[in-house]
Amino acid sequence: MSVLNYQMLVSRYSRRYDSFVNWDFFPSIQLPILVYFKETQTPKNMQTKGSIGAKLMDRRDNGQMHWFPAYANARQLREQFEAHGCKKIGPVHGEEFM
């Protein structure tokens, strides 16, 4: 099973690539500050939508959104997303993101 492993503060997470709904880098791959992905591995009753407008951002309610600092090699991470068939989100201001 292929998984993305990442660590935030004191917690370590693993998410299966086949559970990814979509992903992207913000503001861009050229200047990656945040990595975003949405997955369906987290049970619906455990999903959180955050407190900074995430409920408005996630109108589709089709998975758990994740954001983390892009302190890894963003190009290498993008290669792994693509190699595992993960879909990239559409235009940031378009309906694909919502």
**Number of domain units in the chain:** 1
Give pTM, 2 decimals.
0.72
Phi, psi of 68 (to 5 degrees): -150, 155
Residue 31 covered by a domain? yes
Domain that holds residue 77: 17-98
Give domain status of residue 87, yes or no. Answer: yes
- 88 occurs within a structural domain: yes
10 lies in some domain: no
The rounded distance, in Å, linking the Cα atoms of 4 and 56 is 26
Task: Report which DSSP code applies to 88.
Answer: B
Residues with Cβ within 8 Å of residue 17, at least 6 apart in sequence: 2, 3, 4, 80, 81, 84, 85, 86
52 is a domain residue: yes
Is 84 a member of any domain?
yes
For 39-63, write each residue's pLDDT tens digit. 999 888 888 766 555 555 666 778 8
Residue 64 placed within a domain: yes
Does residue 68 lie within any of the structural domains?
Answer: yes
